[in-house]
A and B are shown apart, each in its own frame.
Chain A
Amino acid sequence: MIYQYYPGCSLHASARDYDESVQGVVKSLAMELKEVPDWNCCGATITPSLNQLQSQILPARNLALAAENRGDVVVPCNACYMSLKKIQYNMAKYKVVREKVTEIFGQAGLRLTGMPKVRHLLEVILEDVGLEKIKQMVKKPLKDLKVVNYSGCQLVRPLGFDNPEDPQALDNLMSALGAEVLPFSQKTHCCGGSLITTQPDLAFQMVDSILEESRAVGADMVVVTCPMCQLNLDAYQDQVNRKFNRTLQVPITYFTQLMGLALGLNKNQLGLQRGIISPFKALEKIG
């Protein structure tokens, strides 16, 4: 199957580990990802607070570029996923957005010729490959590894593909890979997003409640689907520990990294060494 890949800014920079594991996993699954040519920032988080309408031009341009090629747009980042889906929704629903986008596109010589389907990587893996096939492909089950699955908020709402209150996709995938999935009420709670820079006190509280519950239920690591969540939970863990008097050392791993391990890929090719809190000690359980 051929897909168009929209990595988003993070996967080329702070989330190279995610990108590396994505490339490894899709190869094993015989999925072909072609990067959307000349893509730009999806406009998430910061731009809408500056100019609602103009911020929609950014994702719309990516879709216009993708519309010229075949294949669904596959997005690994929750924030990009939501931005791209949101502009599709807004253009279908609001005439004023449609007109404004068309007008600005006209000035730039762009045309929106169609609406490619936007899908999260997790969604594509579960729907197009399927759990049964993945189970058969597992070479090294994640046996004894206790995980909590943190879908984050933008993967499941408001336009997501899974149950917004109690998502199942990541749980099902991790169980299929052999991991022990622990109950986790923080699954879809916000990680604080970009508030971590503008209102750190508030965001630190949000990060803490996620990490603290993962500790309380006895998880070896938190599995994520989004580079923004990963950054907040991993890079700020130290500061959160200091603020709330804790000694947490919880590795935050991408679902593709664990998937890669289970499918028998070399752990050095999955970017696992890039995590600030190293997952290697926890991963000793699976050898």
Chain B
Amino acid sequence: MSGQKIGVYVCHCGSNINGVVNCSKVAEEAAQLDGVVVSKDYKYMCSDPGQEMIKADIKEKGLDRVVVAACSPRMHEPTFRKALEGGGLNGYLLEMANIREHVSWVTKDKEEATKKALALVKGAVNRVKYHQPIEEKEVPVNDATLVIGAGIAGIQAALQVAEAGHKVYLIEKKQYIGGNMAKFDKTFPTLDCAACILTPKMVDVGQNPNIELYTSSEVIKVDGYVGNFTVTVKEKPRYINHEKCTGCGDCATACIMKNRIPHEFDEGLSKRGAAYIPFPQAVPLKAVIDDQNCLLLTRKKCTLACVKACGRKAINFNQHETIHEFNVGSIILATGFDLFDAKRAPQYGYGRYPNVINGLQFERMTNASGPTSGHILLEDGTEPKSVAIIHCVGSRDENYNKYCSRVCCMSSVKFAHMVKDHTDAEVYEFYIDMRTFGKGYEEFYNRVQEEGVHFIRGKGAEVAQKNGRLVVKAEDTLLGQYREIPVDLVILNTALEPRVDAEKVAQTLGISRSADGFFLESHIKLDPVTTTTDGIYLAGCCQSPKDIPDSVAQGSAAASQSLAIIATGKVKISPISASVDENQCAGCRICVGLCPYRAIKLNEETLRAEINQAVCKGCGTCAAACPSGAIKVSHFDNDQLLAQIEGVLA
């Protein structure tokens, strides 16, 4: 390759790169490379003047290829492609050398860093000579949206898309919507009752004609790409005819398993039957038959008291699971969190001593429709005289989760207030440090301090039983003393964790998870709602622990991402894809089994592999594996990669 006119631009990124790499030296040496006609270094290449410089050089010096040595292409490749287009060149005639993440941020020695940066630039210059113009493809967008998970974040997102006039398929694994928030009593910092602010939204979901709600359902397969996903959903049988059931609860009263099964919604504090109504404000307000405990479904033997009791004849044991398929343009994932199982931290006595409960159990206890009708009671039915609240159980702890769960400080303060409000008990809060960071939060904390709650700065170390009473042990770091405080009730404020099936969901949707197990956003600060897979967005606690205000905000943000691509009507999809040279393909089918996107099929007539361009993501797995070298990935072909390697090693 010769006769080309290449421009090289080395970015300082302030001191991010130039503090370690000698950028002007890299530019000087790059100027000597074959084909390079311009080589410059500049403080911020991504700034307007930086981009203008590229555009001007293309026009004035007739550049036909450009190399930018700067940050990761994940940051600014689109920026510089646009700059090339502004100068009249195809954006794919650009190659970036990543001398920030790959060099300056990970190398201490300045000379070594400069040497490595230059090697990467040489590779990029060699490679760009083989670049060909590529036209981006545009495809029409399906204007329906799939929302997975109907907690507060998913509800918010679904309503917002639906209210804008577009179809939403809302999928919920449980038999009712509302998620964890539906279990709460009061919400911080204003102490509105959770049901009062959530139920109107739940009712809206049930009534909005644009929302198709599927409870007891799970997404089992996702095919396609942004704008054109095909989603397969499995709906479990509920054994109740929704059209006929009025939610009267007669079946629940009749069920012979009544009061024998721990009720999930009350976090095990109450018992239900195999036929039951999840909770009084449930949407949909329909009975549920629990197939794990129903005698008929498990042992094929029952008096069928529920069937006899149901005046509407709504119970139908012949229901089977149903498979649905939807076409949608984008997907909003709002699957929420699991609560840390306090039994994993045996030092706190959960499950070992009576009257040690977790935060959600306390929420149920204070809820007027909960198992104690809103009274804070010990197991013996009396009111506690002193209560301990322990922060950070399972959070900020090397042994369990390193991260802060963000909601526990405020919910602990709220718990303290609730105890003070409902009883005459003394309240002791054991905290590492108070993180009351939101609007109105610090004020709420001050208010509860004035209510006479004892705040003890020291992580609760252990809950023991002494002389029949619970004792919390902690080092009071303000007092500089070890303390043992006897109490009647201990509330463990446990961590928010990724759902147990998060990995399965991530694989089904083809998205990533961060080290803590939550779903990974595209950029933690600037793109916290999108995933690295186009058209799939995140909302609520499935991305990281967050409180109600933040979950609602992210639900809205995810909805607006969805609405944005619907409004555009079409999306650009990456033109980088694989293709098969029919003359070289031997039809061995190795690629067919390897393709993670199921984009390759064997043409039964020609006996050659065929790649569906709309589905192919250009990952290159097939090209690497093809024994006869028949598969080529555009923009990553052998000539380009070999030239780059040669350049780096030169």
Q: Mark B13-35, 1 if CB is under 8 A from A, else 0.
A: 00000000000000000000000
Indicate the member of A163, A165, A183, A213 with the most B CB atoms within 10 Å: A165
Indicate the member of A165, A183, A185, A216 with the most B CB atoms within 10 Å: A185
Task: Please determine whether A163 and B352 come into contact, CB atoms closer than 8 angstroms.
Answer: no
Task: Please determine whether A166 and B467 come into contact, CB atoms closer than 8 angstroms.
Answer: no
Task: Please determine whether A163 and B467 come into contact, CB atoms closer than 8 angstroms.
Answer: no
B464 interface neighbour in A163, A165, A166, A185, Cβ under 8 Å: A185
Q: Chain A residues near B462 (CB, 8 Å)?
A: 185
Q: Which residue of chain B lies nearest to A189 when distances are taken between CB atoms in the complex?
A: B462
Q: Chain B residues near A163 (CB, 8 Å)?
A: 346
Task: Please determine whether B346 and A216 come into contact, CB atoms closer than 8 angstroms.
Answer: no
Q: Mark A205-237, 1 if CB is under 8 A from B, else 0.
A: 000000001001000000000000000000000
Q: Chain B residues near A185 (CB, 8 Å)?
A: 349, 462, 464-465
Q: Chain A residues near B465 (CB, 8 Å)?
A: 185
Q: Chain B residues near A183 (CB, 8 Å)?
A: 352
Task: Please determine whether A165 and B467 come into contact, CB atoms closer than 8 angstroms.
Answer: no
B345 interface neighbour in A165, A213, A216, Cβ under 8 Å: A165
Alpha-carbon distance A213/B473, docked complex (angstroms): 15
Q: In angstroms, how far is the closest chain A Cβ from the Cβ of B393? A: 12
Q: Which residue of chain B lies nearest to A212 when distances are taken between CB atoms in the complex?
A: B466
B347 interface neighbour in A166, A213, A216, Cβ under 8 Å: A166
Q: Mark A159-187, 1 if CB is under 8 A from B, else 0.
A: 00001011000000000000000010100
Q: Chain A residues near B352 (CB, 8 Å)?
A: 183
Q: Which of B427-467 contact A (CB under 8 A)?
A: 462, 464-467
Q: In angstroms, how far is the closest chain B Cβ from the Cβ of A197? A: 22
The interface size of chain B toward A, counting residues with CB under 8 Å, comes to 10
Q: In angstroms, how far is the closest chain A Cβ from the Cβ of B403? A: 21
Alpha-carbon distance A213/B466, docked complex (angstroms): 8
Alpha-carbon distance A183/B465, docked complex (angstroms): 11
Q: In angstroms, how far is the closest chain B Cβ from the Cβ of A166? A: 4
The interface size of chain A toward B, counting residues with CB under 8 Å, comes to 7
Alpha-carbon distance A80/B345, docked complex (angstroms): 27
Q: Which of B296-345 contact A (CB under 8 A)?
A: 345
Alpha-carbon distance A166/B349, docked complex (angstroms): 10
Q: Chain B residues near A213 (CB, 8 Å)?
A: 466
Q: Chain B residues near A165 (CB, 8 Å)?
A: 345-347
Alpha-carbon distance A166/B466, docked complex (angstroms): 18
A-B contact count (CB 8 A): 14
Q: In angstroms, how far is the closest chain A Cβ from the Cβ of B469? A: 12
Q: Chain A residues near B347 (CB, 8 Å)?
A: 165-166
Q: Mark B330-371, 1 if CB is under 8 A from A, else 0.
A: 000000000000000111010010000000000000000000
Q: In angstroms, how far is the closest chain A Cβ from the Cβ of B149? A: 33
Q: In angstroms, how far is the closest chain B Cβ from the Cβ of A179? A: 20
Q: Which residue of chain A lies nearest to B349 when distances are taken between CB atoms in the complex?
A: A185
Task: Please determine whether A216 and B464 come into contact, CB atoms closer than 8 angstroms.
Answer: no
Q: In angstroms, how far is the closest chain A Cβ from the Cβ of B340? A: 14
Q: Which of B569-623 contact A (CB under 8 A)?
A: none
Q: Which residue of chain A lies nearest to B468 when distances are taken between CB atoms in the complex?
A: A216
Alpha-carbon distance A175/B163, docked complex (angstroms): 64
Q: Chain B residues near A216 (CB, 8 Å)?
A: 466-467
Alpha-carbon distance A127/B168, docked complex (angstroms): 56
Q: In angstroms, how far is the closest chain B Cβ from the Cβ of A251? A: 23
Q: Chain A residues near B464 (CB, 8 Å)?
A: 185
Q: In angstroms, how far is the closest chain A Cβ from the Cβ of B478? A: 22
Q: Which residue of chain A lies nearest to B344 when distances are taken between CB atoms in the complex?
A: A165
Alpha-carbon distance A163/B399, docked complex (angstroms): 11
Q: In angstroms, how far is the closest chain B Cβ from the Cβ of A148? A: 14
Alpha-carbon distance A216/B465, docked complex (angstroms): 11
Q: Chain A residues near B466 (CB, 8 Å)?
A: 213, 216
Q: In angstroms, how far is the closest chain A Cβ from the Cβ of B366? A: 29
Q: In angstroms, how far is the closest chain A Cβ from the Cβ of B390? A: 14
Alpha-carbon distance A216/B346, docked complex (angstroms): 20
Q: Which residue of chain A lies nearest to B464 when distances are taken between CB atoms in the complex?
A: A185
Q: Chain B residues near A166 (CB, 8 Å)?
A: 346-347
Q: In angstroms, how far is the closest chain B Cβ from the Cβ of A199? A: 14
Q: Which residue of chain A lies nearest to B471 when distances are taken between CB atoms in the complex?
A: A185
Alpha-carbon distance A185/B347, docked complex (angstroms): 8
Q: Which of A107-146 contact B (CB under 8 A)?
A: none
Q: In angstroms, how far is the closest chain B Cβ from the Cβ of A10? A: 29
Alpha-carbon distance A163/B345, docked complex (angstroms): 10
Alpha-carbon distance A216/B467, docked complex (angstroms): 8
Alpha-carbon distance A185/B466, docked complex (angstroms): 10
Q: In angstroms, how far is the closest chain B Cβ from the Cβ of A210? A: 12
Q: In angstroms, how far is the closest chain A Cβ from the Cβ of B461? A: 10
Q: Which residue of chain B lies nearest to A166 when distances are taken between CB atoms in the complex?
A: B346
Alpha-carbon distance A183/B464, docked complex (angstroms): 11
Alpha-carbon distance A216/B464, docked complex (angstroms): 13
Alpha-carbon distance A213/B346, docked complex (angstroms): 18
Alpha-carbon distance A229/B352, docked complex (angstroms): 26
Alpha-carbon distance A213/B465, docked complex (angstroms): 9
Q: Mark A69-107, 1 if CB is under 8 A from B, else 0.
A: 000000000000000000000000000000000000000
Q: In angstroms, how far is the closest chain A Cβ from the Cβ of B171? A: 39
Q: Which residue of chain B lies nearest to A186 when distances are taken between CB atoms in the complex?
A: B464
Alpha-carbon distance A216/B466, docked complex (angstroms): 9
Q: In angstroms, how far is the closest chain A Cβ from the Cβ of B494? A: 15
Q: Which residue of chain B lies nearest to A167 when distances are taken between CB atoms in the complex?
A: B346
Q: In angstroms, how far is the closest chain A Cβ from the Cβ of B210? A: 51
Q: In angstroms, how far is the closest chain B Cβ from the Cβ of A184? A: 10
Alpha-carbon distance A151/B275, docked complex (angstroms): 47
Alpha-carbon distance A151/B352, docked complex (angstroms): 19
Q: In angstroms, how far is the closest chain A Cβ from the Cβ of B294? A: 36
Q: Which of B220-279 contact A (CB under 8 A)?
A: none
Q: Chain A residues near B346 (CB, 8 Å)?
A: 163, 165-166
Q: In angstroms, how far is the closest chain A Cβ from the Cβ of B78? A: 43
Alpha-carbon distance A185/B467, docked complex (angstroms): 13
Alpha-carbon distance A251/B347, docked complex (angstroms): 26
Q: List 5 A-B contacts (CB under 8 A).
A: A163-B346, A165-B345, A185-B349, A216-B466, A216-B467
What residues make up the interface of B, taking CB atoms closer than 8 Å to A? Answer: 345-347, 349, 352, 462, 464-467
Top 6 nearest A-B pairs (CB, nearest first) are A166-B346, A165-B347, A185-B464, A165-B346, A165-B345, A185-B465
Q: With A165-B346, A183-B352 given, name 12 new contacts (CB 8 A).
A: A163-B346, A165-B345, A165-B347, A166-B346, A166-B347, A185-B349, A185-B462, A185-B464, A185-B465, A213-B466, A216-B466, A216-B467
